[in-house]
Amino acid sequence: MSSIKINIDHIKSTNQHIKNLSSEIGDLENSISSIRISIDHRVAQKGNIDQRLIQAVKAMNELELKMKRILVFIDESMDQYIEADKTAKSPPLEKEKSIWNQFLDGLTTAYDST
């Protein structure tokens, strides 16, 4: 059986990069909102500029939320992988004896003591 090898440090580094990108998208979202507010109302109505800026802010917000969900998914997946890896590397637990084996052990002990 082949083993699965995951480079945890690389994934953490990539996750940090995604976090930085998400933050930049949030900053862009705020900048566009500021620009939208600063544009004269009459100018914003021409060419539907106001609605386009609202759509851009909404799209960036959705993208930022998706990226944050990806970050949470990656973090949780890494935690689960680390736990699974620890479990796989730990020595197996002694199997619980069946009732029949316990009975035979009891008979053996009783026979040995006589």
Q: Confirm whether 102 is domain-assigned.
A: no
Query: Could you tell me if residue 106 is inside a domain?
Result: no
Is residue 114 in a domain?
A: no
Classify residue 113: in a domain, yes or no: no
pLDDT digits (tens, 9 = 90+) for 51-94: 999 999 999 999 999 999 999 999 999 999 888 888 888 776 65
For residues 5-33, give the mean pLDDT.
92
Nearest CA among 14, 36, 32 for reference residue 24: 32
Q: Does the residue 109 lie in any domain?
A: no
- Which residues form the domain of 52? 8-91
Specify the number of domains making up the chain. Answer: 1
Span 23-51, pLDDT tens digits: 999 999 999 999 999 999 888 888 899 99
Contact 22, 71 (CB under 8 A): yes
